Amino acid sequence: MRLSMILSLLRPVGPVVVGISLGFTLSLLSVTWVEEPCGTGPRLPAGQGGFADSGHDVSVVRKPNSFPAGLDNESFEPKIIPYTPPDPKKVQKKPVRSRYISTELGMRERLFVGVLTSKTTLNTLAVAVNRTLGHRLDKLVYFTGMRGRKLPHGMAVVTHGDDRPIWNMYQTVKHLLDHYIQEFDWFYLVQDDTYTEAHRISKLAAHLSIDADLYLGRPEEFIGGDTEGRYCYGGFGYLLSRGLLKKLQPHLESCRNDILSARPDEWLGRCIIDYTHVNCVEEHEGIRYRYFELGKNVDPERESDPRFKIAFTAHPVLDPVQMYRLHKHFAQLELEKTYQEIEQLQREIQNTSSLTVEGEQSATWPLGINRPFQPRTRFEVLKWDYFTEDQTFSCVDDSPKCELIGADLADVSDVISTAVDELNRKYQPVLHVRKQQLLNGYRRFDATRGMEYTLDLQLELVTQKGHSRSITKRVHLVRPLSEVEIIPMPYVTEASRINVILPLTAQDREYAARFLQSFADIQGNENSLLTLLFIYDPFQAQQVSQNDIFSQVKSQIAECERKYRGIKIPWISVKTDAPSQIRLMDIISKKHPVDTLFFLAGVGSRISTEFLNRCRMNTINNWQVFFPIHFQGYNPEVSEHGQQSPSGILELVRDSGRFDRDVFDEACFYNADYMAARTKMAADAQENEEILEMLDIYEMFIRYSGLHIFRAVEPSLLQAYRTRACNPRLSEEIYHRCVQSNLEGLGSRSQLAMLLFEQEQGNST
C-alpha cells in the first residue's frame, strides 16, 4: 500500500527525471575533452601520443568555452577607447545622409524600359505604346533622334539631336549609364512598333538573378557571318542586366569609333560580344524569352498559334489601332488567367478549411475576404444605411431622406444589376431571372473587408416553357476593398516659406484686427509673410483721399509692426467692382517669384502653425494644390442662446459649428502652378472676359490644369461666425454657394428646430 502511494507520487516527475538524465548522458558522449583548438593543428612528432603521421596535419576538436592554443586571455578582454573631443578650431564637416533609406542601403528598382522611337512615329505609335505600357511600369522613357515642336502629354522623351541610328543607340546606352545605372537592375529596350505585354516582362525580370551578365532576346546571326556569336534582334526587344552594362561602360567610346554597322541592334550586339564576350541567348536558367512575329492583316481574336498567346512581345505593329487591338486581346487573356487563379485559390481555401477544428464553417464568405468586423461594445456597432432604387434614408445633412445622385446612384444600380446577373448565371438555363423592383436595400461600410449589401428583390422567374412566377428573394453582396497601394509622391518639407494673401473688402474691416493678432501670435517659430489686399469699389476709390475706409486697418498694421519688430506687413490697394479671386491673384502673382507658395486666406480664419505646416505638406509644386475646408462656427444666438462660451474660443465640437463645404476661398498653391493654369485659360478669357468672374481659383485648377486637387476638412483652420458678403456681380454659382453658406451657418437643424419650438410656445402663451 505504501509502495503504491510512493509510486503514484513519483509518476508525474518520472519522465522529467528520465529526460534530464538522458540529456546529460548524450551531451557527455558528444563532447571530446581535448584542449587543442579547432582546425589544423601543429604536427606532432612520432612517438608522442601515437597520432603522428608523416606529412599530415591533425584536426582536433576543442573543448567548449575553451580558448584556442597560442592565444592568451588578454585578446578577449574588452578595451576602453578614450573619448577625444573634437578640436574647436577645426570646422567639423556635417555628415550628409541620403534622403531615402533605399539609397543608403543600395536598394534598386527592378526594371527600366526604354522605347526607341523617331520623329515620324513619336505622336502615333509611341503614344500607343505609352497608353498600353505607361500605367503598368514604374519607369518608361522614350528615346528619339529628333522631335517635333509639340511633345505628347505625359511622356518622358529624351532627344539626342541626330537621326543617325547608330548615334542614337550610342547616346541611348550612354544616357542609361549616366542617369539610371545606379537605380535599376534590368534594362529593357524595345522599338515603338512592338507590342509588349507589361506583366510578363515584369515577371521575367523578377525571376532573374541580378548577378548574371545577361543579354536576353531573340538571337540573330550577324550579316555576312564573319563575326562569331549572335546579337539580339531589336524588333522583339531585349533585356540587358546592370552588370553587363557596367562592364560595357568603359568600352562604349571604342565601340562608337571602331564598329561599323548599318543596324543599331547589330552594332550594340557587336559591342557587347567584342568587349564582354556575352552572346545573345533566348533561354537562361530555364526561363525562355517568348516572342511572336505578326503576319500581315493579322486579327488577334482569330490567331490560333499557341506561341501568340504566351508571347512577351509581338512585332511588327503597323499602326496604333493594331496596337490597341493587341492590348485588348492580351488584357483579356490576363484577366481570364487572373479569374482562374482566384477560383483555384478559393477551391484550395474551401478544401483546407475542412481540415481545421471548426470545419468548413471556418471559411469566410466570400472566400478569401476578411471576416466581418465583430464589435466589442455597442459603440462599435456598424450602422446599416437603408435605401431604395431612387432614395436613401441616410443623408449628410441629417434629412430623413434624400434623392440618390451621383456615385451613390451608380453604386446602387450596379449592385442590383450584379445581383440579377449572378442569379441568372446560377440558375440558367433552367430559370431566367428578371428584376421587377427593389423592395428593401441595406448597405454598410466595413473597413476590414469593404462595402456590404443586403437586397430584398422582387423577381420574375421564367421557365424554359415560358411559365412565369413572381417571388421575393434576399441576396447578400460584398464589394471588397482592393489591395492598398502606396502612391508615390514627390518629396516635400515643412521648411518652405508661405506667403499669406488676405483679400479685404469694406464689409470685412472689423475682422482684420483679429486676423492680424492671430498671425502675429505664431511668428516666433513660423516662416511666413502676410500681404493684405485692400479692395475698393469705384466710389470708395474716389473718396480715398478724404475718407479712406481702410485707414483704421492701416493704422492697426502700423501698430503691429511697431509692437513686433520682426514683422513687416505690406499691402496693395485694388479698385474693382467685381473682386473675383482670379483677377486679384493676377495682381499678386506678378509681384512674386514662380516658386512662391501662396496661402489665400479668409479674413475670419484663425491660422495656426499646425495648419501652415499642413499647407506646406499638402501642396506640391507641379503636382498638387490644396483647398482646405475650414470649420465654421454657428451663430451664437442660435447655438448658445446668446451666451458666449466660457473660453471665448471656438471649439471643434458638433454643436459649435460645421465644416463649410460651400466655401472655396482658402487655397494653398504654388505660383508656378497658378501661372501655368492661367496661361491655359488665357485663350478662353480672350473670347469671353466674363469667365474671370464666373470661375474661382478652384474651378480654374479643375478645368485648366492636370494637377491633383486635394480638398479635405481641416480641423486646425477655424472661423468664428460671420455673415459673408455675397457679391451678385460674380457668377450665379459662386453667389448661390455664398448664400447657402450663410443660411446653413446659422445653426444645426436641431438647434433651429428648438428655436422655432420655443418661439411657437412663446406665441401660444
* 55 pLDDT above the threshold of 60: no
Do the beta carbons of residue 581 and residue 664 sit within 8 Å? no
Q: What pLDDT, on a 0 to 100 scale, did the predictor assign at position 279?
A: 93
* 193 pLDDT above the threshold of 80: yes
C-alpha to C-alpha distances, 152 to 122, 129, 133, 156, 199, nearest whole angstrom: 8, 12, 15, 9, 24
Q: In 3-state terms, what secondary structure has residue 628?
A: strand
Q: What is the mean pLDDT of the chain?
A: 84
* 124 pLDDT above the threshold of 50: yes
* 362 pLDDT above the threshold of 80: no
Span 180-189, pLDDT tens digits: 998 899 999 9
Do the beta carbons of residue 561 and residue 636 sit within 8 Å? no
* Whole-angstrom distance, CA of residue 363 vs CA of residue 479: 18
* Whole-angstrom distance, CA of residue 158 vs CA of residue 571: 45
Where is pLDDT greater, at 618 or 49? 618
Q: Which of 167-181, 684-698, 699-713 has the lowest mean pLDDT?
A: 684-698
Mean pLDDT of 18-26: 77
Where is pLDDT greater, at 573 or 728? 573
* 42 pLDDT above the threshold of 60: no
pLDDT-derived band at 763, boundaries 50, 70, 90: confident
* Whole-angstrom distance, CA of residue 256 vs CA of residue 121: 26
Which grid cell is 205? 525580370
Strands (E), 334-418: 385-387, 391-392, 402-403
Q: What pLDDT, on a 0 to 100 scale, did the predictor assign at position 303?
A: 87
Q: What pLDDT, on a 0 to 100 scale, did the predictor assign at position 30?
A: 60
Q: What pLDDT, on a 0 to 100 scale, did the predictor assign at position 35?
A: 45
Q: How far apart are the first and last CA of the chain?
A: 98
Which grid cell is 217? 532576346
Q: In 3-state terms, what secondary structure has residue 715?
A: strand
Q: Which of 224-228, 327-331, 611-615 has the lowest mean pLDDT?
A: 224-228
Q: Which of 18-27, 309-318, 559-568, 750-759 has the lowest mean pLDDT?
A: 18-27
C-alpha to C-alpha distances, 609 to 128, 529, 571, nearest whole angstrom: 47, 13, 22
Q: In 3-state terms, what secondary structure has residue 247?
A: helix
pTM of the model: 0.56
* 53 pLDDT above the threshold of 80: no
Angle, vertex CA 486, rays to CA 480 and CA 489, nearest 5: 140
* Closest by Cα among 455, 428, 429 to 442: 455
Note whether 108-321 and 498-751 share their fold.
yes
Mean pLDDT of 230-236: 93
CATH class of 383-480: alpha beta
The phi and psi torsions of 660 (rounded to 5 degrees) equal -85, 100
The residues, ordered by sequence, that sit 6+ positions from 70 with a Cβ below 8 Å of its Cβ are 37
* Whole-angstrom distance, CA of residue 601 vs CA of residue 280: 63
Angle, vertex CA 247, rays to CA 246 and CA 250, nearest 5: 90
Do the beta carbons of residue 533 and residue 506 sit within 8 Å? no
* 70 pLDDT above the threshold of 70: no
The residue extents of the domains of the chain are: 108-321, 383-480, 498-751
> How buried is 740 (Cβ within 10 angstroms: 0-12 exposed, 13-18 middle, 19+ buried)?
middle
* 78 pLDDT above the threshold of 80: no
Q: What percent of the chain has pLDDT over 70?
A: 89
| Peptide bond between residue 366 and the one before it cis (omega within 30 degrees of 0) | yes
Span 587-643, pLDDT tens digits: 999 999 999 999 999 888 888 889 999 999 999 999 999 999 999 989 888 887 656
Mean pLDDT of 633-659: 77
C-alpha to C-alpha distances, 59 to 51, 52, 53, nearest whole angstrom: 10, 12, 12
C-alpha to C-alpha distances, 400 to 121, 395, 403, 744, nearest whole angstrom: 59, 7, 11, 17
Q: What pLDDT, on a 0 to 100 scale, did the predictor assign at position 675?
A: 94
* 583 pLDDT above the threshold of 50: yes
Q: What percent of the chain has pLDDT over 90?
A: 42
Longest dimension (CA), the chain: 128
Q: Which of 49-63, 341-355, 526-540, 678-692 has the lowest mean pLDDT?
A: 49-63
* 572 pLDDT above the threshold of 60: yes
* Whole-angstrom distance, CA of residue 387 vs CA of residue 455: 10
CATH class of 498-751: alpha beta
Mean pLDDT of 458-469: 91
DSSP-derived pairing of the beta strands 402-403 and 230-232: unpaired
Q: What pLDDT, on a 0 to 100 scale, did the predictor assign at position 643?
A: 60
Q: What pLDDT, on a 0 to 100 scale, did the predictor assign at position 47?
A: 38
Which grid cell is 193? 512598333
* 374 pLDDT above the threshold of 50: yes
| HEC letters along 576-603 | CCCCCHHHHHHHHHCCCCCCCEEEECCC
* 43 pLDDT above the threshold of 50: no
Do the beta carbons of residue 534 and residue 553 sit within 8 Å? yes
Span 410-458, pLDDT tens digits: 999 999 999 999 999 999 888 999 999 999 999 999 988 999 999 999 9
Which of 192-206, 647-661, 685-699 is modeled with the greatest confidence? Answer: 192-206
Residue range 108-321, CATH number: 3.90.550.50
Do the beta carbons of residue 458 and residue 433 sit within 8 Å? no
* Closest by Cα among 565, 725, 506, 707 to 623: 707
